[in-house]
Chains A and B, each alone.
Chain A
Amino acid sequence: MRRLRPGTATDPAKPLSFRWNGTAFDALAGDTLASGLLANGVRVVGSSVSFGRPRGVMSAGLEEAHAFAQIGEGGASEPLMRATTVDLHHGLVARGLSTKGTLVQGDDPARFEKRHGHCDVLVVGGGPAGLAAAWAASAGGARVILVETTARWGGALGRDLELIDGAPALAWVDRITRDLAARPEVTALRRTTAAVSLDQNGVVLVERLPETTPPDRIRPIRRLWQVRARAVVVATGALERGVVFQDNDRPGVMLASAVRSYWHLHGIAPATVVLFTTNDDGYRTAFDLVEAGVLVRVLDARESIGPVGEQARARGIEVLSNAVVAGTRADQAGLLAAARFQAGRRQGEWPCEVLAVAGGYQPLLDLPAQRPDQSHRIVGAAAGQWSLAECLLDGLDAGVAAAEAVGFGSPGPTRPVVGPDWDRSPGTTLWQVPAPDGDETRSFVDLHRDVTVAGLDRALGAGVRSVEHLKRYTLAGTGIEQGKSAKAAAGAIASDRLGSEKPLGVSTGRPPTEPIAFALLAGRARGDLFEPVRTTPAHPAHVAAGAVFENVGQWKRPRYFPRPGETMAEAVAREARAVRTGVAIMDASTLGKIEVQGADAAEFLDRLYLNRLSSLKVGRARYAAMCRLDGTVFDDGVVMRLAPDRFFVTTSTGHAASVFEWMEEWRQTEWPDLEVWTTSTTEQWATYAVAGPQARTVVQSVAPTCDLSREGFPFLGVRPATIAGIAGLLARVSFSGELAFEVMVQSRHGLAVWNALLEAGTPLGMARYGLEALSLLRAEKGYLIVGQDTDADTSPIDAGLGWMISDKDFLGRRSLEMATHRRSDRKQLVGFLPSDPAIVLPEGAQFVADPTQPKPMTMIGHVTTSHPSPTLGRSFGLALVRGGRDRIGHIVHAPLEDRTVAVEIVDPVFYDKAGARRDG
């Protein structure tokens, strides 16, 4: 093949060059990679995956099952692109592939974007029916999105010379697209494929934007649209089918419509063509190419060739009726050299460069096939309309109906006059020509997956009767073209070969209709923008102080604050010591905070929490916990009463959202009779814990007017205070067992107050402490961390929180009364001490009673928290142990990889059992 003239799609004023398998070629703007290769006489593009047979371009579009290419270089290299759907740009680098892609390491500079779209009517397909539908739908002002897969409007009108209103059809296309461009509520997107159909008329579109080599770092090259439409019109047209015959995979065997397409759109034609057709439409290729001076001969499968065939003969084209291609002959390179035919009793062979196969059209329905509720309106060739006039009318009607259905009128559309019209109907149905020698091992049903008729036979012989098993046994229809060219043929040929049994049908298509690059699916969610990051007001100060951060959900929380040269263990020990012996400060701003207000606030909290909170006095705080309905520990926190009808509740960081939602769920759905409101105030407040024997001194210096004395501000007191000049709240709560104040100020002042506290603490050597030290300090006091020291089946009783349970009703109470919760062998939270005080057991280590038992061993518990304690001068930890409280004082064993450590089960409170230190 070569280029004889510019086509309607190519621009001779815009030459470009590209590289293919290392060689530079010239082409024109408007070329696809496939047309660029064909124009340069490149006939072999890749090779077949299983047999290594050479493969060329067989189509001009989406259904391409041969011509695969790796496009681009380095990290921007993209595997398995179909040459027929890649638009050439200057400098593009590509190479041929079989059916396996290559991944290339390196930075990919390209950008991929996403966008949401909304419209009244989405029209999928920019051919005659789709254009007509979009035009009619938008005439009355409805918002319309029209998408077309290729770079050109008009669909088949680009390759099929038709007259509309007495002028070439492309003039009609121009007129319609100009009208659409002038309507402000129309978004018309070319190079855009509808890939996935979502529920409620959502459609995912893939838009290909102009590319450069190398890609620039700013302009996106692809955009993933998620469109919500009120109505969807599908006008995806029809694809021409091939016919399966022996050696039907040779480079040079092409779809007849594709041959016509390359000629009209790209000006490319072969020197000699044999047309093998089952229908009238195929003759278009013969007529159009003969005009270009190509030698064309026709094999018509029908007994009677009809008027169109006669017309061909009248134009001097040799036509054989009742004729089929029985096979092909190749030259030494494996390229098509001749078509072997059988016409009645006559057998013969016609040399040809291209064997154009016209097997009839088949609606392209892979998008609406994704819709079990059939909510898409299908029009035009996709709906089996086989004449242009019908397609246009169908489109116009659908457009009007869609606009009216969503409340927009439409001027009575003028009905275009088509003529003369061609019949595109399938003609005689012919899926396969049996191999004359009976060898079906070279009759390819799925060219991509190298599935042959012999392969289908084998599956049927094995007992396969479902088309889905056929697909899985043979892999027919699983290629990257989504089986567009193979699925129907596989089902039909298999049915045929089974004889009398019912047709097998077509295997189910799965989304998307078009492969989508992973990078496009991720869009902007990569690198620093991968997922939202939450930081506290004092975060800049933590960064400046060299904090090592830990991800806690989306939050960044300081894990510890190492000094130069310090290890984590050293830093944690220092931070913990500061709390026990001096003073230290921690940013607790991520704790969830919920304000609960209303006349029934106390009753509401009583129903949620284990303990009674209605008895809490104003200005007081209480440690409280709640269960799930199944009686397991959900969350804990501090509940503060600010006024008779006003509570301030804290939750763990991880459960802030779920506790809030839990409250709202019960408030709205079960207890609408309570007058109570919950409001999340997590980010209204910055919260800092100042802990240690010197805490009072530090806080007093920033809150000079507040009475912080033991008597004036007792443990679990809460009061408004001015802190560093800022109005806020102070609470005497402690997670370390030491004297501690929780300072709460509006978060807009958070950083300033953090700095003020640090400044006030500096003379006393105040340290910052992070999550590791917190965990250590809490464990020394036996204060559990929900989710770390509890499991999904730990009850509050198991966790040692049974003392909270009051004699009132609360959520989860019913479950706690079940027998299973009274069993003595439940896993209970206890403390433990390794016999060797230098050994720190790993968290997660399992306990056994009998260390000599062979595996599988009977495990009786596991370590939930484990630390070396600078305060205790030894290792210790918390554990959930079966019947743990009865084992206190007993020795159990922790078999580790290399040794077994004896461990004494002890009470979980290791430090200051009397609680004397919290008052300072």
Chain B
Amino acid sequence: MLQIRCPWCGPRDEPEFRYGGEAHLRFPGNEADPAAWARFLYYRDNPAGAYRERWVHTAGCRQWFHVIRDTTSHRILGSYRLDEPPERAR
């Protein structure tokens, strides 16, 4: 059971959140070519190590935010708001 720091509400237990997968994806728009569209729909980074990912605090303030988490240890290196750069993670 992870404990995640919501940038707005503070540290909360994992069941309060929903996972949103890889962060900083760009919606390619409806003009994307088939390969780019397939990439956007189905392909997500899956690194062993630090991963920038999205979570949403569904049971709390309902805000989406970013987390940097080590996928090999579940250590959380920090979380940051959508309008903050990863360097602001804490």
Contacts and interface: CB of A to CB of B under 8 A. Distances in A.
A665 B64 contact: yes
B52 interface: no
B37 A815 contact: yes
B62 interface: yes
A198 B13 CA distance: 11
Nearest to B20: A665
B64 A199 contact: no
A228 B30 contact: no
Interface in B14-28: 18, 20, 27
Given A202-B1, A813-B30, A664 B73 contact: no
Interface in A647-681: 661, 664-665, 668-670, 672
Contacts of B56: 661, 664-665
B85 to A, nearest CB: 15
A629 interface: yes
Interface string A792-821: 000000000000000001000111011000
Contact of A199 (B1, B20, B31): B1
B89 interface: no
Nearest to B73: A373
Nearest to A660: B62
Interface in A78-134: none
Nearest to A817: B30
A200 interface: yes
Given A199-B2, A665-B56, A672-B82, A818 B41 contact: no
A201 B3 CA distance: 9
Interface in B23-82: 27, 29-32, 34, 37, 41, 54, 56, 58, 62-64, 72-76, 82
A630 B42 CA distance: 9
Nearest to B1: A198
Interface in A799-845: 809, 813-815, 817-818
B43 to A, nearest CB: 13
B32 to A, nearest CB: 6
A192 interface: no
Contacts of A817: 30
B3 A202 contact: yes
Nearest to A226: B1
Contacts of B73: 372-373
A813 to B, nearest CB: 5
B30 A373 contact: no
A809 B28 CA distance: 13
B3 A670 contact: no
Given A373-B73, A818-B34, A199 B3 contact: yes
A195 B62 CA distance: 33
Interface residues of B, number: 28
Nearest to A204: B1
A630 B41 contact: yes
B2 A629 contact: no
A372 B82 contact: no
B41 A664 contact: no
Nearest to B64: A668
A77 B30 CA distance: 63
Contact of B3 (A200, A372, A665, A814): A200
Contact of A373 (B11, B29, B75, B83): B75
A373 B31 CA distance: 45
Contacts of A372: 72-73
A668 B58 contact: no
A815 B56 CA distance: 26
B82 A669 contact: yes
B64 A228 contact: no
A575 to B, nearest CB: 37
A200 B27 contact: no
A199 to B, nearest CB: 4
Given A665-B64, A669-B64, A809 B2 contact: no
Interface string A223-235: 0001010000000
A664 B64 contact: yes
Nearest to B37: A814
Interface string A349-383: 00000000000000000000000110000000000
B3 A228 contact: yes
A669 B1 contact: no
A665 B58 CA distance: 11
Interface string A174-208: 00000000000000000000000011111000000
A226 B2 CA distance: 12
B37 A199 contact: no
A33 B27 CA distance: 65
Contact of B74 (A199, A226, A629, A818): A199
A815 B2 contact: no
Interface string B1-12: 111000000010
B3 A669 contact: no
B90 to A, nearest CB: 14
A459 B56 CA distance: 50
A668 B23 CA distance: 13
A597 to B, nearest CB: 16
Contact of B30 (A200, A226, A668, A814): A814
B27 to A, nearest CB: 5
A661 B54 CA distance: 14
A814 B32 contact: yes
Contact of A200 (B32, B41, B76, B82): B76
A639 to B, nearest CB: 21
Interface in A604-642: 629-630
B6 to A, nearest CB: 13
A630 B41 CA distance: 7
A237 to B, nearest CB: 26
Nearest to B70: A373
Contacts of B83: 672
Nearest to B23: A669
Nearest to A116: B13
Contact of B18 (A661, A809, A815): A661
Contacts of A818: 34, 37
Given A202-B1, A226-B1, A672-B82, 7 more contacts: A199-B74, A372-B72, A373-B73, A661-B58, A665-B64, A813-B30, A814-B31
20 contacts: A199-B3, A199-B74, A200-B3, A200-B74, A201-B3, A202-B3, A373-B74, A629-B41, A661-B18, A661-B58, A665-B56, A668-B64, A669-B54, A669-B82, A672-B83, A814-B30, A814-B31, A815-B37, A817-B30, A818-B34
Pairs A-B, 6 closest by C-beta atoms = A200-B3, A814-B30, A199-B74, A373-B73, A198-B1, A668-B64
